[in-house]
């Protein structure tokens, strides 16, 4: 086996809420500069796992490593500064701020975020603001929101908020981006552009993506690797073509509410 360059390791993570084991023994890793999909039926524990990895929850058991160093139990903001950023399934657009301010607030290394620097080094604050402004507009135009830059984010539709969150996450200059259902509610043609942009960032900057996605077509076309969760545990992990034929995966989906459609999609027997 060739040497694998791993950016994220999730090792035997458990997380329960009262009696309910939302994540129960999840183990997998993510290779640097890859696009990896995390799939599984509703309630499988994918979002909870994201919360654990991004520092919102402390795992009951297990370890999470970023670039080989433990990050489980670290506060979220420190994890972000180490280059791991995530988006939310239920979007968290800052609706009382402009779309542009949503982007600017995400920029790292702005000296003006320290109170004393606002007064002591206004020049440095302004310079950084200009740099960041340029990048923000670039990313906004990429997701088709540049015309709404000065509007309050409250005016955005659900799909637009997903796009804003995607662009905003990129503002943090991440090395690993974790996206929780980034395509949900997004206009399909923009969704395709989004995927293209992910590939471009992967190629040009070596950015790693880990995405939770329900659209099997998207998963199969964009990702190099698929991790499947069911009832809190990782039940399969491998290239898309292997995973879609995996017995355990098909069984897991049979137990879910949309079992029939999803099994057909997974097995590639699409009805359309």
Partner 1 sequence: MTGLANVQFWAFVGVVAGIFTIFSLGLQVQFGFAGLLNFGHVAFMAIGAYTMAILVVKTGLSLWIASLIAIAVSMGFGLLLGLPTLRLRADYLAITTIAFGEIVRYLALNEQELTGGPQGTINLEGAGAAARYNDEWLDFQRTVQGWLEVLLGDNATRDVTMLVIVWTVALVAIVLLQILVRSPWGRVLRSIREDEDAASALGKNVFSYRLQALALGAALGAVAGLFFAFQFSFFSPNDFEPLTTFFAYVIVILGGTAKNWGVPLGALIFGFIFAGTRFLDVWPLNTFDSAERAYLRLIIVGLILIGLMAFRPQGILGKREELVVE
* Residues engaged in binding Mg ion (CB under 5 A): 47, 89
Can residue 43 be called a binding residue for ligand ADP (CB under 6 A)? yes
Can residue 40 be called a binding residue for ligand ADP (CB under 6 A)? yes
Could you identify the residue written with the tokens 């997380």?
Answer: 15
Pick 43 or 62: Cβ nearer ligand ADP = 43
Could you identify the residue written with the tokens 């290239």?
Answer: 239
Cβ atoms of 39 and 229 closer than 8 Å:
yes
Tell which one of 97, 184, 220, 259 touches partner 1 (CB under 8 A): 97
Pick 40 or 111: Cβ nearer ligand ADP = 40
Can residue 39 be called a binding residue for ligand ADP (CB under 6 A)? no
Can residue 115 be called a binding residue for partner 1 (CB under 8 A)? yes
Q: Is 59 helix (H, G, I), strand (E, B) or coil?
A: coil
Pick 101 or 215: Cβ nearer Mg ion = 215
User: 95 is written with which tokens?
Assistant: 């609706």
Q: How many CB atoms lie within 10 A of CB 158?
A: 12
Can residue 90 be called a binding residue for ligand ADP (CB under 6 A)? no
Taking the complex as a whole, the smallest distance from the CB of residue 171 to partner 1 amounts, in Å, to: 8
Cβ atoms of 234 and 27 closer than 8 Å:
yes
Tell which one of 10, 30, 45, 93 touches ligand ADP (CB under 6 A): 45
User: 1 is written with which tokens?
Assistant: 């086996």
Sheet bearing 208-212, strands edge to edge: 84-86, 176-180, 208-212, 35-39, 225-230, 233-238
Q: How many CB atoms lie within 10 A of CB 85?
A: 23
Cβ atoms of 185 and 160 closer than 8 Å:
no
Can residue 246 be called a binding residue for partner 1 (CB under 8 A)? no
**Contacts to partner 1 by CB under 8 A:** 54, 56, 75-77, 80-81, 85-88, 92-97, 101, 104-106, 108, 110, 112-115, 118-119, 125, 129, 152, 154, 168, 171-172
**Contacts to ligand ADP by CB under 6 A:** 17, 20, 22, 40, 42-48
């Amino acid at each position: 086996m060739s040497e694998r360059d791993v950016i994220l390791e999730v090792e035997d993570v458990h997380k329960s809420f009262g009696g309910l084991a939302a994540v129960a023994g999840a183990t997998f890793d993510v290779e640097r500069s890859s696009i990896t999909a995390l799939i599984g039926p509703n309630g499988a524990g994918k979002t909870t796992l994201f919360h654990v990895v991004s520092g919102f929850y402390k795992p009951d058991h297990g370890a999470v490593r970023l670039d080989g160093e433990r990050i489980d139990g670290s506060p979220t903001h420190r994890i972000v500064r180490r280059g791991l950023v995530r988006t939310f399934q239920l979007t968290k657009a800052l609706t009382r701020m402009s779309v542009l301010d949503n982007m600017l607030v995400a920029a790292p290394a702005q000296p003006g975020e320290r109170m004393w620097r606002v007064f002591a080094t206004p020049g440095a604050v302004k310079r950084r603001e200009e740099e960041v402004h340029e990048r923000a507009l670039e990313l906004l135009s990429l997701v088709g929101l540049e015309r709404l830059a000065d509007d309050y984010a409250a005016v955005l539709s659900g799909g637009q908020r997903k796009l804003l969150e995607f662009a905003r996450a990129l503002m943090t200059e991440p090395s690993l981006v974790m996206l929780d259902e980034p395509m949900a509610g997004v206009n399909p043609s923009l969704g395709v552009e989004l995927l293209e942009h992910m590939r471009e960032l992967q190629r040009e900057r070596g950015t790693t993506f880990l995405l939770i996605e329900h659209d099997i077509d998207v998963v199969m076309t964009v990702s190099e690797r698929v991790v499947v969760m069911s009832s809190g545990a990782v039940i399969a992990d491998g290239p898309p073509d292997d995973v879609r034929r995996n017995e355990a995966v098909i069984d897991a989906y049979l137990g879910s509410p949309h079992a029939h459609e999803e099994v057909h999609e997974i097995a590639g027997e699409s009805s359309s």
